[in-house]
Homo-oligomer: A and B are copies of this chain.
Amino acid sequence: MGVTIKDIATKANVSPSTVSRVISNSPLIGEKTKRKVKKVMEELGYFPNFHARVLVNGATCSLGIVMPVSMRDQDLVFQNPFFQDVMKGVGSFVHSKNYSLYMTSGETEEEIYQDVVNMVKGRRVDGILLLYSQEEDPIINFLVEHDFPFVLVGHPPDNVQNITYVDNDNYKIAQNVTKYLLSLGHKKIAFIGGNKRLIVTRNRLSGFLDTLSLSGLSVPEDYIKHTEFSIEGGNASVQELLELNELPTAIFVTDDVLAMGVLNVLHEKEIRVPEQVTVVSFNNLFFAGFTIPPLTTVDVNIYQLGYEAAKCLVEKVEDTSATPKCIVVPSKLVVRKTCQHIGDQSLEKISSHLDFQIVVQ
C-alpha cells in the first residue's frame, strides 16, 4: 500500500541506497540525481516508514509522558488544569525539535508503571518525562536502574545528585509566602495541601513550618490539612478548620483548585475574605484572577516548567553522557484580593524584606 524506497529506486533508475542518500541529503550524491529522485518521490508521494528507520537508527525521537491520571486508589485525582499547562510547554519545545509525544494511559500506579516499562523496554521512546514527583516511586527507581534518560518535573524524592529535574524552589517560595503572611500581621496560619507523598506538598509544608518556627510560632496539628487535589478537597479541609475552637486568620493553600474550594466555603458561610480570613495559594491557574475575590497566588510558571523539562530531556537523550542538572524556574507572588489589603507603600516595604518577586494585579 505505502510507497517504499524501492518503488522510487526502480522508477528513478537508481539503487535504493541512492534514494536513501537523497532522503538524508547526503553530499555524496550528484545534483542531477538528487533532482531526479526527488521528482519521483514527489510524484509517488513518498514518505519514510518510521519504524523501519527506528529499527536501524535506534532513535525514535519520541518522548514518553507520565501523567498522574486519576490514581483513584491514592486519592490523587488530578482534574488539575496544571497538567494541561505543563503539556503546552512540553509540546511547544518538543515540536520545535521534531520530537513526538507518547502518553501513558494507565489509571493506577501499577498500570502506569507497566506503561513505562512497555515504553522503555519496547524501545518506543528515547526518554521519559515524569510530570510529578512523589516518594517511593517505583517508576523513578526503574528508570534509574535501567539508566534510561528521564527528567522530573518536581524535586526528586532522593538520589538528588543523579537526577535531572526542573522545579520551582518550592521550599524558598513557601518561606517567602509565609513571611509575607507574617508581615501582614498573621500569627494563626493554617495549611491546606495535597497528598503528603508528593514532594511539592512536602516542600511547601516545610518552608511554611520552618519559617513559622523561626518566628517562634508553633502550628497546632489540626491547622495542617492534607487532602485530595480537588475543589471538594479544599471544601472539606476548610470545613474542618472552621470547626476548630481557635480559628486561623490566614490559610496557606498549596494549589488554586484547592483554594477555589476554600473560597467557595468561606463565601457560603459569609466569612469575608480577606477581612476575616486571608488566603494565599499556588500555581496561578487560569481561573485564579476570576475567583471571588480574585486569588492572591504564586505564579510558578507552569508553561516554562514544561518547556524546560522537555528541553532537558531532549538534551539528555541526545547526549547521554550529560551530567545530571537541575533547573530552577523562577516564580512570583501575584497579589490580588485574598490577602488583607495594605497600602502600596507597605507592600513595597514588605517586598524589600523578601527574597521574592511580588506583582500587584
List chain A positions with a Cβ less than 8 A from chain B: 2, 45, 47-52, 54-55, 60, 65, 69-70, 79, 81, 83-85, 88, 90-92, 94-95, 99-103, 105-107, 111, 115, 117-118, 121-124, 230-231, 235, 257, 260-261, 264, 267, 286-287, 289-290, 292
Contacts and interface: CB of A to CB of B under 8 A. Distances in A.
A360 to B, nearest CB: 18
Nearest to A124: B50
A261 B286 contact: no
B287 A48 contact: no
A23 to B, nearest CB: 13
Contacts of A102: 100-103
Contacts of A95: 105-107, 111, 115
Contacts of A70: 88
B79 A91 contact: no
A53 to B, nearest CB: 9
Contact of A231 (B101, B122, B230, B286): B286
* Integer count of this chain's copies in the complex: 2
B230 A286 contact: yes
B50 A122 contact: yes
A101 B105 contact: yes
A79 B84 contact: yes
B292 A292 contact: yes
Chain B CB count within 10 A is highest, among A50, A51, A230, A235, for A51
A83 B85 CA distance: 12
A335 B175 CA distance: 43
Given A91-B105, A95-B111, A290 B260 contact: yes
A91 B66 CA distance: 12
Nearest to A120: B47
A316 to B, nearest CB: 17
A140 to B, nearest CB: 19
Q: Would you list the 3 A-B pairs with minimal beta carbon distance, nearest first?
A: A47-B121, A91-B105, A50-B122
Contacts of A231: 286-287, 289-290
A111 B94 CA distance: 13
Contacts of A286: 79, 230-231, 257
21 contacts: A2-B121, A45-B121, A47-B121, A47-B122, A49-B55, A49-B123, A51-B55, A51-B123, A51-B124, A79-B286, A90-B105, A92-B107, A95-B105, A95-B106, A102-B102, A231-B286, A235-B290, A257-B286, A260-B287, A264-B292, A287-B287
A195 B67 CA distance: 30
A103 B106 contact: no
A44 to B, nearest CB: 12
B105 A103 contact: no
A51 B54 contact: yes
Contact of A88 (B69, B264, B287): B69
Contacts of A69: 88, 91
Contacts of A121: 2, 45, 47
